[in-house]
Structures are given as C-alpha cells and as structure tokens.
Amino acid sequence: MANPQTENGFTKIANEVLEQLVNTPLLGAEFQVLLFIIRKTYGYNKKQDRISFTQFEKATGISRQTINKTIKNLVTKGMIVKIYLPEGNIGYTFIKDHEKWVVKTHLLVKGKWSTSKDVLTKTSKDVLTHKRKKEITKEITEQSSEEINLLIKTFEKINPASKNFYARNPQRNACKFLIETYGFDRVQNVVALVLPKTNTLQFFPTITTPIQLQDKWAMLDSHIKKYKEERLIKRKGVADINKKNDIQNYIG
C-alpha cells in the first residue's frame, strides 16, 4: 500500500499556480510533461533543470515523438521556456506567471467539453489529417536537425574545426545515422565523455569527426571491451598477489 509522506520529499508550489492549472485545458501528455518539469525544478528548489528526452520517456511513458510535440506546444503556450545549455544540453523552466500563458479555450458542445477539432465536418477532418501528417513529418525533421546540431556542437569539444560541419551534408548525414542507429543520448555521451579519453590512449582509433565515428564505431566498441577486460584481469591479478602475500605473512 502506498503511503506518501512529505517527510520523504515534496514539491513546493503556490496554490495560485495549482488553481490556475486546474482551470487550464491541457492535453494529458501536456499535463504529464509539465508536471515532470515542475517536479525536476521546483522539486529540487531550482528554477531550471537539464532534462533529456530519455528522462521524459522513463517518467511519463510517452513516446519521444509525442514528447517533442508536447514540449513545443507548452513553449508556444508560454508555460515553459526551453534553454540551450553548454555542451549541447537542453534545460527547461516553468513559467509561474500564468498571465503570460496563451491557452486555447475548450468549447461546450452538446453538454460535453470539446476542442474545436471535435466539431469539424468530415471534409475538414480529412484536410486536417493530411495537414497533421505534414506537421508530424516536419516535426520529426526539425527534431532530427536539432539533435544533429547539438551533436556537432558536442564534437567541438574534441575538434574545434567541427564548427564547420553544420553546413556539410556528409558530416550531418553521419550524425543522423549515428542518432538513428544508437540513440542521441548514447552517441552524445560517447562524444562528450569517451572520445576525449580514448583519443589519448595507444591502440585506440582516433576519432574527431562524425564520419570517423560512424566508420569506426564497431572498432571503438571492440577496443573498449578489450580494454575493460584487460583492466579487470590486471586488478584480479593484483588482488591474487596481495592475497598470496597476506597468507605468506600469516604463516610466517
């Protein structure tokens, strides 16, 4: 049985904000994403926080595509602000000044609250569906382009010349392939955290561009596994030697 207690943590938020949220017509996904942003900011006494798409997915159970659209909706409605942080990270801030929110009202149709799209004619709905498909395609393209730019920005940490890659299709295509194959968060971590170390190690492939990472991903992965195994064996060997010395010292 669940037994939540404020002693185990709580999020401090003004009643005025909660009352306004209760009277604000938002979609379910919008409420979920908005509440998670509030949890990650107000819940830690912060005005902004870096939140990845992976965190949104795990917390809400919503697909990445829907999260992307939902964030854009909330930004458009003036309820959150998207902040571009150093090293390609993205942060979010909740706008507590509800007078700045721009939210469409719902319509009361035949005793039920509905959005305007619920009372469109069939022909209009067909047009809307076609338009929505185009919007979704555009959203996916924009998200892909945004992630590519962020990844190139991360490459600048190990290769200052990467600032020239934004307009180079071969490098952008390599970024797109890496993101679609391995996931944005994983690739960004490899570029930001792994490559600065492996590029200085002997026998590891030197990788400073998206194309090189695409071509040498398997080689890099293989070297990392081998490196970890060798270190594990070395540590085990040292432990065995120490154990043997301890026994010898004990028996004198």
Per-domain boundaries in the chain: 12-105
Residue 134 CB partners (closer than 8 Å, separation 6+): none
pLDDT at 209: 94
pLDDT at 141 exceeding the cut of 60:
no
Indicate the fold that domain 12-105 takes in CATH.
Arc Repressor Mutant, subunit A (1.10.10)
pLDDT at 214: 93
Query: Using an 8 Å Cβ cutoff, are 199 and 208 in contact?
Result: yes
Give the range among 15-19, 82-86, 238-242 with minimum mean pLDDT.
238-242
Give the range among 48-57, 79-88, 121-130, 162-171 with minimum mean pLDDT.
121-130
| pTM, entire model | 0.45
pLDDT at 226 exceeding the cut of 70:
yes
Give the range among 64-68, 96-100, 101-105 with minimum mean pLDDT.
101-105
Query: Using an 8 Å Cβ cutoff, are 63 and 57 in contact?
Result: yes
Pairwise CA distance, residues 152 & 77, whole Å: 30
